[in-house]
Chains A and B, each alone.
Chain A
Amino acid sequence: MIPELGHFALALAVALALAQSLCALLGAARADARWMASGAALAYGHTIAVGSAFAALIWSAVTDDFSVQNVVENSHSLKPLLYKITGVWGNHEGSIVLWCLMLALCGAAVAGFGRSLPSILRARVIGILGLNAAGFLLFTLLTSNPLLRVWPTPLDGRDMNPLLQDPGLAFHPPLLYAGYVGFAVPFAFAVAALIEGCVDAAWGRWVRPWALASWSLLTGGIALGSWWAYYELGWGGYWFWDPVENASLLPWLTGTALLHSAIVVEKREALKTWTVLLAIATFSLSLSGTFLVRSGILNSVHSFASDPTRGIFILVLLLAVIGGSLILFAWRAPALGSTGLFAPVSREGALVLNNIFICSIAVVVFTGTLYPLFAELVFGAKLSVGAPFFNATVLPLAAPVLLAMVVGQILPWKRAALGPALLRLWWAALIAAAVGLSVALGLRALLPALGFAGAAWLIFGSFGEIIERIRLFRIPLATSCARLKGLPLAVWAATIAHAGMGITVAGIVGMSLAREKIVAISPGEAVTLAAYDWRLDGLRDGAGSNFRERIADISVWRDGALVVRLTPARRSFTTQRMETTETSIHTTGFADLYSVLGEERDGKAILRLHYNFLAPWIWIGALIMSLGGFLSVADRRLRVGAPARRPAQSVPAA
């Protein structure tokens, strides 16, 4: 009964989403307040309907309803409860429903939080979101319906891929999807602006909080995914340039560019067409990533069962959404008016430079990810583009952005001089040089020294704007402190996000100094790695509800004192007949002690031990970036006095 209700709710959601879109768009076209209001109300209804379908799916999984096809394929009665719930979005069908739920929530959020927007713009945004949602719901219903029954009902399910049976699944996909789908809102704002033929400072201010929130969620989602790969796959790596990873990186890159160019729209009414294009591109890349991964065209770790009919449907949907918006762009964008005049050396000049480099990185990642397909079609050649290519091309493009972002942050708007700005950062340069020099002397390695110097420059230099604003040591300290309190949250947000980037860079550079050892030792023996003694105390057997495992007890000692006990394991899952390695990691804050258990031979266990210097900083930095983004959103909602679009109407930021 429950699955049928869910099925019905899903079908109802298609109708509600279509109605939401029609009411809102027609209402906006006819400036009819009642129609527009019903569009907003329908957005709530549509969200409740998708939410019910999703709840029905979770109910079926939790109650082990093996008459539901999707539950049979992805669950098992012995699977722990947490994974019965998270397993709902650990497969194609369920994750598409989650995707639809997020999209519905976006529409509801605009309806709820966007009350201060001009009603016509708000209605258009809600309408465009509804139209998108209708397309995706139809896709779910027609090609990927998770609520279909199966007959005869099997006794038990086939269980889920053991790699997914991890708490990481609870957070990583929902955050990532929230980020992907969140960019639908800036996209809808861009399309609405094209329909209206008007992009101004107010538009820039309205679109930014949505872009910021999505960006923060996406940053968190990518970071969690990378951390998950790091501890679950047990290879010791954290980023593999896999097509799926690239598909998440692309919207992140263009989304980052979008955040920055929207500032220029807000402050200087420049880069309007470019910002609109970025908003369209970011959501388009979110969608194309889904298409490429789910159609099975690209060869990826995240293997969803490939299904050509599904692929065709997504392709058509994709072409309709992106094509529609680009036709509108080609038609209306030339009328958006010319951009303001500005000097190359200025805050806006620096932001343009940021956009050029970040978008170049996006172009390279895009080209590299799709080049095997291009070579196949054009030359009939089979080739691979992997990590060595991306490392060699992306790092040289990223380095200038990272170095320049510190300077850009303290440049004034309109017209600036580079020399004085650089001079005002002498202290940050000094710290960076000191860090670089000590690393160079300590390690006798050039590249890590340069890397750490860059990271220090980024972390400390990010505070340059705050120090400039409070005129530290140039006016009495008390006055500086008073100014500090008065600083807008957005300044703190930018500083924190940029410093977070610096911490991530430090982590990445630190990881290049990681050391590891592969040893075969008997219980009682010990090895030394990075000033730690790792002793294998013993091996034992264990079991979970749906797996058996072999556990190694390792004690790690430093200078005769026990640091931690690690318990890496090898699990074999009975239903899926698959083995996984469970790493055991201890974080000291400055490094990870990382251990993996391999095979056993002649009474000896093969252990792989890593000393991953600064590894935790990679994800801590990313979470700080994400936090910075949210802080900025908070600022915008509180701040009053956003530029009004029409004199009669005062419009606080959404």
Chain B
Amino acid sequence: MNPISRRLMFLGPLGLLAVGGGAGALLLHRMADGSFDPRGVPSVLIDKPAPKFSLAPQAGHPGFDGAALVTAGTPVLINFFASWCLPCIAEAPQLLALQKRGLQIWGVAYKDREESTARFLAQHGNPFSRIARDAEGNAALEFGVYGVPETYLIDKTGIVRWRWVGALSDNVIARALDPLLAKYA
């Protein structure tokens, strides 16, 4: 080996460090601006048709199934919620505000007793125009839900466009949801 390539070999570890340091800085930057979340799991359904499912309706409310999402003819926000879930209470005002803006919001009561759901809606307001009951969590499995609340945006052709895990905040709605609503209206 000639002396120059030997010298280069000694620079190898330094190069590795430079690449690693750059990657680390980039990831930290992305973490700070929210585009990288080490715990976030992207939905595989994005840009795919919503899964098929059929559920019983909540008493006193119209229900829905997978097919209804296609025939709705308008973008629909699907919200998985439960009366036992604290972040669901936190996002209730945001959902009500979205409903006032004329957005169709359909609720899926996840692993909840019918009367508990009714009490929850009476107490925190009902933003949903249709409510289905997923007592066993089967529809949630089809959607890939791993914790409530989770919210999906389905466009008017029945294609999933967006998923949010956790409570919706005004910031999330303004930054992520509104541009998509404008795009798929």
Interface-lining segment among A48-56, A294-302, A611-619: A294-302
Q: Give the number of residues in B that approach A within 8 Å (Cβ atoms).
A: 26
Interface segment out of the listed A1-9, A81-89, A131-139, A310-318: A310-318
A330 at the interface (CB under 8 A from B): yes
Assembled-state Cα–Cα distance A277/B9 (Å): 12
Name B40's closest neighbour in chain A (CB-CB).
A382
Chain B residues within 8 Å of A311, by CB: 28, 31
State which of B7, B32, B36 has its C-beta within 8 Å of the C-beta of A376.
B36
Contact B10 A334 (CB under 8 A): yes
Closest to A327 in B: B14
CA distance A319 to B31 in the complex (A): 19
Q: Is B6 an interface residue (CB 8 A)?
A: yes
Q: Is A322 an interface residue (CB 8 A)?
A: yes
* Interchain CB contact under 8 A, A323 and B21: yes
**Which residues of B in the span 62-93 have a Cβ within 8 Å of any Cβ on A?**
none
User: Per a CB cutoff under 8 Å, which of B6, B38, B42 touches A299?
Assistant: B38
Give per-residue flags for B101-118: 1 if the beta carbon is below 8 A from chain A beta carbons, else 0. 000000000000000000
Please tell me if the beta carbons of A315 and B24 are within 8 angstroms of each other in the complex.
Answer: yes
Chain B window 32-75, contacts with chain A (Cβ cutoff 8 Å), 1 for yes, 0 for no? 10001011111000000000000000000000000000000000
Which residues from A are CB-within-8-Å of B6? 334
At the interface, yes or no: B176 with Cβ under 8 Å from chain A? Answer: no
Report the separation of the CA atoms of residues A326 and B13 in the bound assembly, to the nearest whole angstrom: 7
The answer for the CA separation of A312 and B26 in the assembled complex, in Å, is: 10
B21's contact among A306, A315, A382, by CB below 8 Å, is which? A315
The reply to whether the CB of B122 lies closer than 8 angstroms to some CB of chain A is no
Cβ of A308 and Cβ of B32 under 8 Å apart? yes
A257 CB to closest chain B CB, in angstroms?
A: 15
Closest chain-A Cβ to B168's Cβ sits at a distance in Å of 22
**Complex Cα–Cα for A326 and B20 (A):** 14
B residues in contact with A374, CB < 8 Å: 23
Q: Are B24 and A291 in contact (CB under 8 A)?
A: yes
B16 CB to closest chain A CB, in angstroms?
Answer: 9
Q: Chain B residues with Cβ under 8 A from A281's Cβ?
A: 13
Contact partner, B17, options A308, A326, A334, A377, Cβ 8 Å:
A326
Tell me if B38 and A277 are in contact (CB < 8 A).
no
Q: How far is the CA of A296 from the CA of B18 in the complex (A)?
A: 20
Contacts of A315 in B (CB 8 A): 21, 24-25, 28
For residue B11, CB closer than 8 A to chain A, the reply is yes
Counting CB contacts under 8 A, is A373 at the interface?
yes
Q: Choose one: B17, B26, B27, B39; the contact of A323 (CB below 8 Å).
A: B17
Q: How far is the CA of A323 from the CA of B39 in the complex (A)?
A: 30
Residue A35 lies at the interface, judged by CB distance under 8 Å to chain B: no
Residues in A neighbouring B26, C-beta threshold 8 A: 377
Chain A residues whose CB sits within 8 angstroms of the CB of B41 once the complex forms: 382
Give the secondary structure class of B's interface: helix
A312-B28 CB under 8 A given contacts A299-B39, A323-B17, A326-B17 = yes
B10 touching A373 by the CB < 8 A rule? Answer: no
Is A203 an interface position by the 8 A CB rule?
no
**B contact residues around A288 at 8 Å (CB):** 20
Residues on B with C-beta less than 8 A from A280 are 13
Name which of B3, B7, B20, B38 has the most chain A CB atoms within 10 A of its CB. Answer: B38
The answer to the question of A329 belonging to the interface, with a C-beta cut-off of 8 Å to chain B, is yes
Task: Name the CB-closest residue of A to B24.
Answer: A315
A333 within 8 A of B: yes
Quick one: which of B3, B21, B28, B40 contacts A319, CB cutoff 8 A? B21
Within 8 Å CB of A318, what residues of B? 21
| Bound CA span A587–B184, Å | 64
A312–B17 alpha-carbon span in the complex (Å):
15
For B39, list chain A residues within 8 Å (CB): 299
Complex formed: what's the CA distance from A298 to B39 in Å? 9
Q: In the complex, which residues of chain A have a beta carbon less than 8 angstroms from the beta carbon of B25?
A: 312, 315
Of B3, B7, B31, most A-chain CB atoms within 10 Å: B31
For A, the interface residue count at a CB cutoff of 8 angstroms equals: 32
What separation, in Å, do the CA atoms of A374 and B19 have in the docked complex?
A: 11
Across the interface, B23 reaches (CB within 8 A) one of A312, A323, A334, A373, namely A373
**Residues of A contacting B7 in the complex (Cβ-Cβ under 8 angstroms):** 330, 334
CB distance B27 to A373 under 8 Å? yes
**B residues less than 8 Å from A273 (CB atoms):** 10
Question: Which of A295, A296, A297, A323 contacts B14 (CB under 8 A)?
Answer: A323
Chain B residues contacting A322 (CB-CB under 8 Å) are: 17
Q: Provide the residues of chain B in CB contact with A297, threshold 8 Å.
A: 24, 27-28, 31, 38
Q: In whole Å, how far is B25's beta carbon from the nearest beta carbon of chain A?
A: 6
**Known contacts A299-B38, A318-B21; is A330 also within 8 Å of B28 by CB?**
no
A299 to B29, alpha carbons, bound, how many Å?
17
- The answer for the CA separation of A319 and B19 in the assembled complex, in Å, is 11
Q: A312-B25, A312-B28 are in contact. Are A330 and B38 (CB under 8 A)?
A: no
Known A315-B21, A334-B6; judge A277-B13 contact (CB<8 A).
Answer: yes
With contacts A296-B31, A297-B28, A308-B32 known, is A377 near B13, CB below 8 A?
A: no
Q: Which A residue sits closest to B13, measured CB to CB?
A: A326
Contacts of B3 in A (CB 8 A): 334
Cα–Cα, bound, A374→B26 (Å): 12
Q: Which residues of B contact A312 (CB under 8 A)?
A: 25, 28
Please tell me if the beta carbons of B31 and A306 are within 8 angstroms of each other in the complex: yes
Residues of B within 8 A of A306 (CB): 31
Q: Which chain B residue has the least Cβ–Cβ distance from A292?
A: B24
Give A327 to B29 CA distance when docked, in angstroms: 26
* Smallest CB gap from A332: residue in B: B10
A277, A281, A330 — which one has the most chain B CB atoms within 10 A of its CB?
A330
Residue of A with least CB distance to B8: A330
Q: How far is the CA of A277 from the CA of B11 in the complex (A)?
A: 12
Minimum C-beta distance from A571 to chain B (A): 23
* A-chain residues with CB within 8 Å of residue B17 when the two chains form the complex: 284, 319, 322-323, 326
Chain B residues near A382 (CB, 8 Å)? 40-42
**Which residues of the other chain, A, contact B13 by a CB distance below 8 angstroms?**
277, 280-281, 326, 329-330
Asked if A329 meets B21 with Cβ closer than 8 Å, knowing A298-B38, A377-B26, the reply is: no
Give the distance in Å from the alpha carbon of A315 to the alpha carbon of B42 in the complex: 27
| Cα(A322)–Cα(B29), bound, Å | 21
CA A291 – CA B13 in complex, angstroms? 18
A299 to B40, CA, bound (A): 10
CB distance from A144 to the nearest CB of B (A): 16
Q: Within the complex, what minimum Cβ distance (angstroms) separates B63 from chain A?
A: 32
Supposing A299-B39, A376-B36, A377-B23 touch, asked if A330 and B31 sit within 8 A by C-beta, the answer is no
Complex Cα distance A377/B31, Å?
12
* Known contacts A319-B17, A377-B23; A333/B10 CB under 8 A: yes
Distance in angstroms from B163 CB to nearest chain A CB is 13
With A329-B10, A382-B42 already in contact, the answer to whether A377 and B27 are too (CB < 8 A) is yes
For the complex, give the distance between the alpha carbons of A297 and B37 in Å: 8
Residues of B within 8 A of A330 (CB): 7, 10-11, 13-14
Query: Could you list 15 examples of A-B contacts with CB < 8 Å?
Result: A281-B13, A288-B20, A296-B31, A297-B24, A312-B28, A315-B21, A318-B21, A319-B17, A323-B21, A326-B14, A333-B10, A334-B7, A334-B10, A377-B23, A377-B27
Instruction: Show the binding face of A for B, using Cβ within 8 Å.
Output: 273, 277, 280-281, 284, 288, 291, 295-299, 306, 308, 311-312, 315, 318-319, 322-323, 326-327, 329-330, 333-334, 373-374, 376-377, 382
Name 10 extra pairs, CB < 8 A, besides A299-B38, A334-B7: A273-B10, A297-B24, A312-B28, A315-B28, A323-B21, A326-B13, A326-B17, A373-B27, A377-B27, A382-B41
Q: What are the 3 tightest A-B residue pairs by CB atom distance, in nearest-first order?
A: A308-B32, A326-B14, A330-B10
